[in-house]
Amino acid sequence: MNSPFVYISLTGMFLSVLLFFYNKGYQSAKSYLAGFLLLSSFFLFMQCVYLFSNDLHIIMWFIAGFPSLFYLIGPFAYLYVRSILRDNTRLSRLDYLHFLIFFLVLLGAIPYIISNLEHKLTLARFIQSNDWSTRKFRPNVIFPPIVNQILRLIHLLAYSILIWLIIYKQRVKLFKNTNHTREFEITKKWIFLFSSYVFLLAIFHIILYYTASFSKTKTIFLLESYTLLISYSFLYIFIIGALLFFPHILYGLPVKIFFPSENLMTELSNDITKVESKEELIDGDNADEVQLDQTIEKYVQLFSEAYLLEIKNKLNTWIEQNNFLDPETNISTLSVQIKNPQHHLSYYFNTILEMKFTDWRNHLKIEYAVSLLDNENHKNYTLEALSIQCGFLSQSTFIRAFKNAKGMTPSEYMKGV
């Protein structure tokens, strides 16, 4: 099989596997997207096997339970878009009905899966031949071939419409408010691009089925639909390229937090940045912080007081474990360690704390360095040893960060102690 469609589908499957292990964004939403890309790539590969493969055994295995996987493409696409728009990846009990047809089709394929080898090879030879109609065979005892093919088209088209319906329901979040960040706009455009792709995918399948229905042989079908297949392949490459060149879309749709005035934001920022030491950062009983949380709760749209407290408690535990001393620590690894979406943490630091994550992390490192310098047992530390122990990759970075925080170099600080 030297068809370009094979390489395109394999590329899509490889990217899908990478997405499963990508550490940014919502884990479940990302998995839905990866599942969609994996199954759509796999289905394209399966069609390549039917159209171009000369290996009867490969065709034989692909006839079995694999066609049922097509009925997961639509649900995964829908659940991905819904998870991003709602900022919630949880499934309700009713959501499991999305997978009902998949299980029914898989159940109907079991008799073929357990049938003898000769029966499977007979069907594989027929598919390999130029006359590819399978109506005389029943690889699925519940759904005849023509019913199965039409059901696929209806199923995918229905989910592509459901995706646009949920976008319509979320129109206030997407359109009514114009005070959005660049990341929000990029993700919104991606959602529209992805939803359009799913809809076009459904249309492509309808056209291909229509062409196949009036093509008496496989050769005629390939001649009449080759341009359409190439067009679909370029569209698929475009979707993959969007993921590769704009990885921010994997972070999820960021929740925008609104405060009524700049003065209040300044007041909140000043209250929070009063923190001067690690001990204060982990003090959960501070009356000013409790009052601050109550003030924030009045204006936060989706970040409730309970959720803010959850993030703060997780960060406090993370600080107590001195994880900030790891020189490789960044907001991505923090997201994985405390199990909160990265875009939520970005908004927590940038909007609630009014500081960059790197500044927050360096503040913790410098306070840790000060505690060492104030200890008589560490008086003889060299600057290089001190910078390493405080989690800085270089001595110069440590000195610069220390001077920015304390207004003097570590050496000047040691002389004054």
- Encoded amino acid at 409, one letter: T
Cα–Cα distance measured from residue 190 to residue 196, given in angstroms and rounded to the nearest whole number = 10
294-324: burial string, b at 16+ Cβ within 10 Å, e else: ebbeeebeebeeebbeebbebbeebbeeebb
Using the 8-state DSSP alphabet, how is residue 164 labeled? H
Tell me the pLDDT tens digit for each residue of 160-199. 999 999 998 887 767 665 555 666 777 788 889 899 999 9
Cα–Cα distance measured from residue 367 to residue 281, given in angstroms and rounded to the nearest whole number = 11
- Encoded amino acid at 156, one letter: L
Give the whole-number percent of the chain exceeding pLDDT 90: 14
- When pLDDT is cut at 50, 70 and 90, the band that residue 7 belongs to is confident
Residue 372: the pLDDT is 84
Tell me the pLDDT tens digit for each residue of 76-129. 999 999 988 877 777 888 999 999 999 998 898 888 878 788 877 887 777 777
Residue 101: the pLDDT is 93
> Is pLDDT larger for residue 354 or for residue 177?
354
Q: What is the pTM of this model?
A: 0.64
| Cβ neighbours of 141 (radius 10 Å) | 12
| Cβ neighbours of 210 (radius 10 Å) | 12
The mean predicted confidence, pLDDT, of the chain is 76
Residue 345: the pLDDT is 83
> Is pLDDT larger for residue 183 or for residue 398?
398
Give the whole-number percent of the chain exceeding pLDDT 70: 74
Tell me the pLDDT tens digit for each residue of 50-59. 777 777 877 7
Residue 295: the pLDDT is 46
* 262-416 CATH choice from 2.60.40.1250, 1.10.10.60, 1.25.40.10, 3.90.870.10: 1.10.10.60
Structure tokens at 16: 């899908």
| Cβ neighbours of 7 (radius 10 Å) | 14
Residue 249: the pLDDT is 65
* Helix segments in 214-286, DSSP class H: 218-245, 262-272, 278-281
Contacts by residues 219-227 (CB-CB < 8 Å, ≥ 24 positions apart): 219/130, 221/132, 222/51
Residue 377: the pLDDT is 66
Q: What angle, 0 to 180 degrees and rounded to 10, lies between the N-to-C axes of helices 331-338 and 305-320?
A: 100
Tell me the pLDDT tens digit for each residue of 365-381. 989 888 888 876 656 77
Residue 153: the pLDDT is 92
Q: DSSP states of 303-365 as a string?
A: S-HHHHHHHHHHHHHHHHTTGGG-TT--HHHHHHHHT--HHHHHHIIIIIS-S-HHHHHHHHH
Cα–Cα distance measured from residue 377 to residue 388, given in angstroms and rounded to the nearest whole number = 17
> Is pLDDT larger for residue 223 or for residue 270?
223
Residue 72: the pLDDT is 93
Instruction: Return the SS3 of 21.
Output: coil
Among 118-122, 130-134, 279-283, the range of highest mean pLDDT: 118-122
Residue 23: the pLDDT is 45
Query: Which region, left, alpha or beta, applies to residue 394 given φ > 0 means left and ψ of -120 to 50 means alpha?
Result: beta
> Is pLDDT larger for residue 225 or for residue 107?
107
Q: Is the pLDDT of residue 342 over 70?
A: yes
Q: Is the pLDDT of residue 135 over 90?
A: no
Residue 307 C-beta-side C-alpha neighbours within 13 Å? 16
